[in-house]
Amino acid sequence: MTEALEGAYEVEKPEVSQEALEVAENFTTALNSFNWRADYFKFCEVLGFTPDAYSEEKYKQFRELVSYLDCFDKEAIAKMIEAGK
């Protein structure tokens, strides 16, 4: 089983391009701004959700997403973007 997984997690260490840094910065800034300015009802309006249990769960997940994105600096996010190409 180890042999099958040996190459599964090998990822080259990418050079971080200015484009990836800008994407990471713009993405995190935009989500943080939306999180700061929008309440649950605005979230539903923007995404076309009807306020219900499903949209409440999605709003909770969105807030968690923003919280977890703040755990990484833009360079780390940019590296992940580059590695995912």
27-73 confidence digits (pLDDT tens):
999 999 999 999 999 999 999 999 999 999 999 999 999 999 999 99
pLDDT class for 85, splitting at 50, 70, 90?
A: confident
- Say what the pLDDT of residue 77 is: 95
- Say what the pLDDT of residue 15 is: 75
- State the Cα–Cα distance between residues 19 and 50, nearest whole angstrom: 36
- Say what the pLDDT of residue 84 is: 87
- Say what the pLDDT of residue 54 is: 98
Number of CB atoms found within 10 A of residue 84's CB:
9
Alpha-carbon distance values, 3 to 11, 12, 46 (Å): 17, 19, 47
Where do the domains of the chain lie? 16-83
